[in-house]
Structures are given as C-alpha cells and as structure tokens.
Amino acid sequence: MRDFQLLSSPLQGFTDFRFRNAFHEFYGGIDTFYAPYIRFNGKLEIKASYQRDLDPENNQVPELIPQVMTADADEFLLAANYIKSLGYNELNWNLGCPYPMVTKRGMGSGLICNHIGIDHILERVHAETDVTISMKMRLGYHETTEILESFETLKKYPLKSIAVHARTGKQLYKGGVHLDAFEKCIEQSPHLLYYNGDITSVDIFQERLERFSTIEHFMIGRGLIADPYLPLMIKQDLKDYPADRWERFKAFHDQIFTHYDEFLQGPTPIKMKMQGFWGYFAEQFENPQKTFKKIKKAGNTRNYQIAVNEILNSVK
C-alpha cells in the first residue's frame, strides 16, 4: 500500500481536546487533528472555550491545526495572530460547514461563490501575517462545479492545501459523495488537495486510495467517532477488529465521560453531551436504534452508566 496520511476532520461540539487526547491515547492512527473552528459572532475576541481548546498544555496529540470560520478579514487576522501567539504556524479556513445558520450569513460553504470576498480576505491575510493558510471546502453550495470557479481566485495565493468534502453544502450530510466531481477538482486545482467524505470502513478507504492515485491525505470526520478503531485499522490494513475492541472502547468512553463530567455543570449537560456522542457510537452495534434508545432513556448519570454497561456486556 502506498504512503498516505490520515487527518481528523473537526466536528463542532465533539472533537475538542478532551476527545482528541483520549482518542490518541486509546486508538491512534491519526497523523493530524484539526480543531473545531473559532467563530466570533460579531465580537472581536477569542472566547474562553476556544482558548482552552487550543492551549498547547491541554493537547497531547502529534499535530493540531486550528481552524477559523469567518467572512471578515479583521476576524481572520485576529484568529491568525492569536494562534501564532500560541506557537501554531498554520490556520485552516472553513468554507465547508453546510448548516443553514452558518451559510445564510455568508460563511462556511455559503462563502464558496463569493469570489470577491474570498480574494479580499486572502489578500489581506497574506499581506499582514506570515501564518500558513490552508482551506477546508465543499464542492460548492448548490452545485458541484462551484469550487472549480473559485480556483481562479485561489491560485493567486500560496495555500498549503485544500481539503475537499465531496458534497455540496445544500446536501448537508445526505446523499452520496460526488467522486467524479472530486476527480475534476484534482484535474483543475492549483493546490494540493486532501480528500474528505464518507470514509467509514477499511474497504471504502482502499477504494478511495485506489481511485485517487495522486491523493496522499485523507480526512475522516463522522466515521472516526462512529468507529474509533477505524484509522488504526486503515493504517494496519486490518479487516477484522482486534480482540480488545470493546475493552478499549470502554476505557476510551470512560475517560471522555469522566473529563466531560468534571467540566460540565449538572446532570443535564453531561447527559446531552454523551447522547450526542452515542448518536455516532451506536453505529458500531448490531442494532444502532435500539442501542441509542437505551442511552436516551437513561434519565440520570447512574442509569446512563448502567445502560452503557448493558450495551457493552451484550457484545462481549
């Protein structure tokens, strides 16, 4: 198998430093983690939650790249200068987020067609900071060809890379990925491309690796939470799960549960946080809906832990 790197795509609300550290400790397989995006909401200040997440002392992963989501050059520059002050050399710009609350404000994938806006921001950032800029994009918001039109603007700047999620913003996470459209990106991109989208098994990864022979970086998002063993299995080319699959998952789960429980105030926040994770974790089990229903029915921490033990005992 040829050389490649696996990257962890950021998921807001999930892949903060607590998750990243536990994932790296118990599983591994990810070469580079991307932090969930910094967003400003009209105030030129870095929120405490972003500061905690990016604090180098809180991160024990091999490489972490901060991300920003903005359509404003001053916000971008504030983020760039802030992450540089922490010792980071690269800032990733999110033009991939598909959610309407973001795209309606002209950010995320809603910015892909705004070539003037993209040009203005990149021009200022490259003139006023020496931070390396990379991008995360979708194929477009409405159409899969919109990213191709943006390349004319992007070629003016020394971007490190563009990670492309092979869907449109309008799709959200529905429907399949557009592999033919991604192939056109490879043919026309002026920059190094990374592939992102629906890598959920070793077989699917190998199909992508074989089809896109010039791509050496592959980004895994939801698939990494749904199956934490996946990156390591890809790296080791394993088709069968190791014997310690569920013991390792329990240790991983217990660590993130403990760390979130210590940080969050009260039973409701920890319940909602872990329910969010189990929306993905449940995909590992034979009956995901039944598994998630057990978690959802647990009204307090004690019942939640009982439900988790029942689920894991059922697969031993």
User: Per residue in 3-52, pLDDT tens?
Assistant: 999 999 999 999 999 999 999 999 999 999 999 999 998 889 999 999 99
Note the pLDDT tens digit of each residue in 107-144: 999 999 999 999 999 999 999 999 999 999 999 999 99
pTM score of the predicted model: 0.96
| Local confidence band at 91 (pLDDT 50, 70, 90 cut-offs) | very high
N- to C-terminal Cα distance for the chain? 32
The mean pLDDT value of the chain amounts to 96
Would you state the pLDDT for residue 271?
A: 93
Would you state the pLDDT for residue 265?
A: 82
Would you state the pLDDT for residue 42?
A: 84
Would you state the pLDDT for residue 316?
A: 73
Note the pLDDT tens digit of each residue in 206-251: 999 999 999 999 999 999 999 999 999 999 999 999 999 999 999 9
**Whole-angstrom distance, CA of residue 22 vs CA of residue 44:** 32
**Whole-angstrom distance, CA of residue 111 vs CA of residue 116:** 10
Q: For the residues 96-104, what does the mean pLDDT come to?
A: 95
Q: For the residues 304-315, what does the mean pLDDT come to?
A: 95
Q: Is 198 left (phi over 0), alpha (psi -120 to 50) or beta?
A: left
**Whole-angstrom distance, CA of residue 82 vs CA of residue 148:** 31
Would you state the pLDDT for residue 299?
A: 85
φ, ψ of residue 219 to 5 degrees: the values are: -105, 130
